[in-house]
Each structure stands twice: as C-alpha cells, then as structure tokens.
Amino acid sequence: MFTGIITDIGEILDLRQEGDLRARIGTSYDPAGIDIGASIACDGVCLTVIATGTAETRHWFEVQISAETVDKTNLGPNVWRPGRRINLERALKVGDELGGHIVSGHVDGVAEITAMREEGDSTRLTFRVPAALAGFIAPKGSVALNGTSLTVNEVEGDSFGVNLIPHTKTATTWGDAKVGDAVNLEIDTLARYVARMTEWSASLKA
C-alpha cells in the first residue's frame, strides 16, 4: 500500500528481456534498507524487488515486470528506456503519515496528456482516459498519475484536468511531462468500491 507521495526520483539504468522484462533502477534509497521481496511503486506500479546493490557509488535495485503489467501500463520498452527518470515510493509502514490518498500500485489503465498550459506558477494538465474508467473520476476526487497523488479539477466526458504546483514539478518527474505522454492511471480505491456496490445493489433489485 502507498500514499502517492513520491519519495525519490529513480533512473532506468538497464532493461533486459529474460522471459519477463527485468529492469535495474538507480535510486537514492540505501540498498541495505531494501529487503528482497519488498514492494516499491515505480511510476505508480507496485513492483517486487529481486536484487539490490551499489555500483560506482550509485545505489540500485532490480524488478521483474510481467507481460501483463507491460500490456496494461506504460512500463514497456517504448516508454521505459535507459536514462528515463521515474517516480519512486516505498511501501507504507504502520505509523507512517498518510499525506496523499490510499494507492494500491495496481494501475487501471493508461491516460494521455492532451494539453498543458501555465496558470500563474502552476501548470494545468488535461488527460484523456479510457472510456471504461472515465466514470470513476470525479471533480475534487483523487487519482494517482505515474504514482503521484493528485486532485482532479474538472471532468468533461473522457477528459479531466489537474494542476501541478512548482513543488510537485521539482519533487517528481512531472517537470519532464509533455503533450502526448502516456501516463499510468490508478483510480481512487473508494470510487472503485462505491461503483461495485452500486452495481451489485442494482443487480439485486433487478
């Protein structure tokens, strides 16, 4: 479980296809504090650590990415390439501050940045989402985009907007964003369960 508060910006150091896709990710996290089998959200996708180490003073960890994950997210080699910066978050511990919202690291789909404009010191981004997910996104609700907990400003059909303050752009990879980027989207867990309960209630009445 995560909160959508990014704690490090990692870098893709290496990608290898070994049955599943294997990625080595540079990080400022101390490998001594990362257990094998630990979960780290990488651009919003919960991945399992299979190796750690330090090379030339650069800390790193490795993860395996299944074909299903590659298919449902932006983690494929067309987007993830050596040198790409990615948002990282360690799994939530009991007693940690819940500064964002509850994020599972289970991406629901990929959104596309369709517009960007400056508003004062902030940047307004507009995203297009798969039609099947549009109904789960509500004004002033929460979404996780590339692992970052953000508040929805407005929703119009299959599009919605968010504002990025300067801190968010510097503390995450959002300062690198551009129109056309594919972004991992996780809808709010609460919205998912409310929709399921409503569907189940309707089926009982039918």
Q: DSSP assignment of 173-193, as one string?
A: GGGG--TT-EEEEEE-HHHHH
In 62-155, which ranges are continuous DSSP H helix? 67-72, 131-134
Domain co-membership, 136 together with 58 = no
In a domain, 103, yes or no: no
In a domain, 155, yes or no: yes
Q: How many other β-carbons are positioned within 10 Å of the β-carbon of residue 110?
A: 18
> Residues 19, 80: contact at Cβ < 8 Å?
no
Distance CA 43, CA 83 (A): 14
Identify the domain containing residue 166 by its residue range.
109-196
In a domain, 99, yes or no: no
Residue 39 one-letter amino acid? S
Residue 95: per-residue pLDDT: 66
> Residues 86, 12: contact at Cβ < 8 Å?
yes
Domain co-membership, 84 together with 146 = no
Q: Which residues contact 192 (CB under 8 A, 6 or more apart)?
A: 136
DSSP state of 157: T
> Residues 125, 113: contact at Cβ < 8 Å?
yes
Total of domains in the chain:
2
In a domain, 98, yes or no: no
In a domain, 55, yes or no: yes
Distance CA 37, CA 53 (A): 14
Residue 108: per-residue pLDDT: 93
Residue 28: per-residue pLDDT: 97
Residue 99: per-residue pLDDT: 73
Among 58, 90, 122, residue at a domain's last position: 90
pLDDT in tens, the chain (206 residues): 899 999 999 999 999 998 899 999 999 999 999 999 999 999 999 999 999 999 888 999 999 999 999 999 999 878 999 999 999 999 987 667 777 788 889 999 999 999 999 999 999 999 999 999 998 999 999 999 999 999 999 999 999 999 999 999 999 999 999 999 999 999 987 766 666 666 667 677 76
In a domain, 79, yes or no: yes
Nearest to 87 by CA among 40, 152, 139: 40
Nearest to 186 by CA among 142, 151, 153, 152: 142
CATH number at residue 75: 2.40.30.20
DSSP state of 71: H
Among 61, 90, 119, residue at a domain's last position: 90
In a domain, 167, yes or no: yes
Strand, coil or helix: 46: strand
Residue 1: per-residue pLDDT: 85
In a domain, 1, yes or no: no
